[in-house]
Structure 1
């Protein structure tokens, strides 16, 4: 479980669409407060998903080869196949334009509440669902499971937290570096999405098939 959560958390943390959107939010007027609202809503979604899964399982992992265990693995397999298909579709459809100047203007004018509303919409829900299917196997009778879940949430939010802290304590330097990051992400967004989706998708497919057949 821990290895899966680490890989999924890393993939969420560097997901190009959400990172690009957060950079735009952070670059807007009063971006620090808007970024903070975005992060709080982002974390709230993770906590809500984890709480729903743990309430369903009662904090006890299903027995190996039981229907719930097989179902959670089948869900990860389906997500993995979906990610691989998405990568192939994205590759065939060719490059797409990044956020336009009009979008930048709209993000500059949104309120912190609207920024918070963007967070759930911009989360990579396929990866979040894969994480939820993995959390089914968490055993809350052990402190290590709490640490793993906390680390998963922190890891998945790490890129946003790093940018928020940087912009708070070094605003001038952050403005320049985040601007370069935004440009780079917009130029290579498609390659990043394709590579990330393909890598995580293949991992989930291989891991799930192994678990289902072993």
Structure 2
């Protein structure tokens, strides 16, 4: 469980679409406050999913090869196949379609229309954006892994907490940099936004294929051993 949660959390925090949106949130007026709301909503989603799984399992992992255990592995297998197919779909695309808007001549980095809307957005809008851009397939893989958590062991609490922190770490790093070194962070975030605008498809392909192939291999091993 620990290795699976680590890899899933790492891929979630490196997934480019929420990072691109969060950069725009931080760049908006009162961006630090909106960024904090974004992070709290993001964390609330993760905690809610984990809590729902624990309520279903009672904090006890199902016996190996039991129907609940096999169902969890089958769910991870399906998610893994879906991620592989999506990653391959993105790899085959010849043209990089901007995520938020078609870049205008005055904004070659893309996302200009979305950035303008973020300037007028409220903290509630930032929270809704966090909910919308949560990579739910990857979070679902995390939920299927949490089925194996044994809450009678203190290490399980630590593992679940570490998963939530790791899955949020890129957002936390950007938020803290804007709080303690705003000028330097603004330059770094501008450069990050420009890099992601040109490389997001490649990053999506890599993250989806890496996690997808891992989930497929891991799930097939657990189902057939």
TM-score (norm 2): 0.94
Partner of 1:24: 24
Out of 136, 144, 154, the position equivalent to 1:133 is 144
Deviation at 1:164, TM superposition (A): 0.3
Partner of 1:172: 183
Partner of 2:66: 66
Q: Give SS of 1:140's match.
A: coil
Counterpart CA distance in 2 for 1:186 and 1:180 is 10
Superposition CA RMSD, Å? 0.7
Correspondence 1:1-214 to 2 at 5 A: 1-94=1-94, 95-99=96-100, 100-214=111-225
1:113-161 Cα distance to aligned partner (Å, 9 max, x none): 1101111100100000000000000000000000000000000000000
Deviation at 1:98, TM superposition (A): 4.1
Counterpart CA distance in 2 for 1:195 and 1:47 is 26
Deviation at 1:42, TM superposition (A): 0.4
Q: Which runs of 5+ in 1 are unaligned?
A: none
Q: Is 1:61–1:138's contact at 8 Å kept on the other side of the alignment?
A: yes
1:70-123 Cα distance to aligned partner (Å, 9 max, x none): 000000000000000001111223322243211110112101111011111001
